[in-house]
Chain A
Amino acid sequence: MTASDRPKLAVWKFASCDGCQLTLLDCEDELLGIAEKVEISHFLEASSATDPGPYDLSLVEGSVTTQQDVERINHIRAVSRRLVTIGACATAGGVQALRNYADVAEFQAVVYARPDYIATLATSTPISAHVPVDFELRGCPIDRGQLVEVITAYLAGRKPDVPAHSVCFECKQRGTTCVTVAHGTPCLGPVTHAGCGALCPAYGRGCYGCFGPSNSTNFPSFIPLLRRDGMDTLDIVRVLRTFNTAAPEFDAASRKELGQ
């Protein structure tokens, strides 16, 4: 294919750590295949050469935290045929959404020598709070296999195979013994979106919810389980307030714990 025949791919960064973009570069075995099938038109982490668009597929990392971000995401949406958010920041606001519970002016005063140089919004919000999103890929960071699947599915014009059920499905399919039932280890697996392949439980650790809520959560029944296994209110609030703190289900559960 000539360059002009290939769909144009753009990768964008908002408030984030770059880890999800890096996942694309980590696709060592598939990266050349991807580069053959799409024209990488805008990907600053890989190349400073950019194409003004429009783009067939935009992958968006990061959350919206400034007024410039708001304007930029609207522009990106306008020049993108399909827009896929990648990672917890773009999908749920990221760990920086902890600011949503605090006074940003106070943070600025503590952190920066000249807070008046900082122009920021009071909240960190997911991309979907600002523009329509075609697909949201979960994870902190995203799973490499799922990213390739999303790009491949886009190229084939099919739906990506990205289940929204709990991590428990992945534990059981992988043959991992349940760390909660067998060891009494607190684990967010039953309320967390699959996609990581149940990585943490496979190494004897509880899931800490980096893929955000599954499509079917029941926190009133689940939270007492965390307590039984030794977590107190602060522990529970902390485990829910990490990378997906602003995901509506996690946010509501943590607020409820605090009686808010």
Chain B
Amino acid sequence: MADGAVVIDKAGLDALIAVLTGRGRTVVGPTVRDGAIVLAKISGGDELPYGWGVELEAGTYRLRAREDGAAFAHSAGPQSWKTFLHPPRERQWSADRGADGELTVTEDRTPPPSYAFLGVRPCDLRAIAIQDRVLTGGRHVDPAYRGRRERAFLVAVECTEPGATCFCVSMGTGPAVGPGYDLALTEVLDAEGHRFLVRSGSAEGESVLAELPRRPADETTRTAARERVAEAAERMGRSMPLVDLQVLMRETLTAERWDDVAARCLTCGNCTMVCPTCFCTSVEDVTDLSGDHAERWRHWESCFDRDFSHLQAGPVRDSSHSRYRQWATHKLGTWFDQFGSSGCVGCGRCIVWCPVGIDITEEAHALNRERGGADGEGTP
């Protein structure tokens, strides 16, 4: 076929990991650890979560064995790729005072790792593009992020098994893959076997593909892949109201619903830490005991942290009401003004990993109802 799509089997997937590793890349992919499908460095296909799925609900995540042996029949886990591209803690520079009192500042120039991400879901591929825009698309580029990002090889895997907390269809990010991948896989399991339809989206993707045991894509596999993704779109567990969310946020700033959600919110920060697009950081300067060595560390921060908005007279957002509203209105509303897109990709992580199960889609529906929108609009 003209599009160059091929089919690989499990051995082909093993070969993919081997080829990427052989090219000096650190392959990161889904693997079962601590009762969850986490993202971690993997060295072989046997570490992929074959035969594992997940059962998700607001505030609940459970690993579930699957009889079909699928590798990618799970939705978003406890981390996102930002853990690797925009790590939780990073040293920016260190400074030393010499015997003569002269200060020497050394920027951290650790060579960025050359990652290959295996199993990037379409929603997360979009999230990476959003972080690209935030961290490298403006006047002030984050060089460390750019270094890691430019070297990263992305193997997307289309979604065929959405979770009960997924709403990528509402956000226009999945379950079919969008642009930005080096390779895109669709997992197919049927009477003809366990295989993956693979398309390449870059020159390097093409050259990696050329090294794999493969066969040209047949029509049966293409159709099966297309159907599985189309079916997944029909099985989203959540949806956003079918309204302009930016306008909804703008028009509901004084809604009573914010009091309701504030009463439930723990301000623990989990939603922002698991969100694949939340990018806020803070910097701390530390010194050692001698006082002659200082370091600047950047670490993840969160609008749910009371001290993050601490100005001279105290925190600007002292209440959980103001902090939750800041997060939701930025994510769904002012992100458009700032970065030209939604900050939400519909991965559902904030719903799953909120200990008390606050559901951003439910909040949006409630705000829409309070505004006078049709009740239940957009619910599946």
Contacts and interface: CB of A to CB of B under 8 A. Distances in A.
A33 B305 contact: no
A199 interface: no
A187 to B, nearest CB: 8
Contact of A33 (B268, B284, B289): B289
A165 B89 contact: no
B267 A166 contact: yes
B211 to A, nearest CB: 32
Interface string B267-293: 111100110000000001111111100
B59 interface: yes
A68 interface: no
Contacts, number: 130
A172 B269 contact: yes
A183 interface: yes
Interface in A206-253: 215-218, 220-222, 225
Given A161-B286, A215-B306, A182 B59 contact: no
A164 B306 contact: yes
Interface of chain A, main secondary structure: helix
Contacts of A173: 88-89, 273, 299-300
B138 to A, nearest CB: 25
Interface stretch (B32-40, B188-196, B251-259, B330-338): B32-40
Contacts of B242: none
B355 A169 contact: no
B356 interface: yes
Interface in B307-361: 307, 320, 352-353, 355-356
Interface stretch (A8-16, A111-119, A145-153): A145-153
B302 A152 contact: no
Given A37-B290, A156-B291, A215-B307, A168 B35 contact: no
Given A169-B269, A172-B274, A181 B355 contact: yes
Contacts of B266: 166, 190-191, 217-218, 221-222
B79 interface: yes
Contacts of A152: 286-289
Interface in A125-178: 148-149, 151-153, 155-156, 158, 161, 163-166, 168-169, 172-178
Interface in B209-242: none
A34 interface: yes
Given A169-B305, A177-B35, A181-B59, A216 B78 contact: no
Contacts of A184: 60
A174 B304 CA distance: 18
B263 A220 contact: yes
A214 to B, nearest CB: 8
A164 B270 contact: no
A139 B289 CA distance: 22
B275 to A, nearest CB: 10
A113 B36 CA distance: 55
B306 A177 contact: no
B356 A177 contact: no
A189 interface: yes
B83 interface: yes
B265 interface: yes
The 8 closest A-B pairs by CB, nearest first: A172-B273, A173-B88, A190-B268, A33-B289, A168-B268, A216-B267, A177-B36, A190-B266
Interface of B: 33-36, 38, 59-63, 78-79, 83, 88-89, 263-270, 273-274, 284-291, 299-300, 302, 304-307, 320, 352-353, 355-356
25 contacts: A34-B289, A156-B287, A158-B287, A164-B306, A165-B304, A165-B305, A166-B269, A168-B268, A168-B269, A168-B273, A169-B305, A173-B88, A173-B299, A177-B36, A181-B59, A182-B35, A189-B268, A216-B306, A216-B320, A218-B263, A221-B265, A221-B266, A222-B356, A225-B59, A225-B355
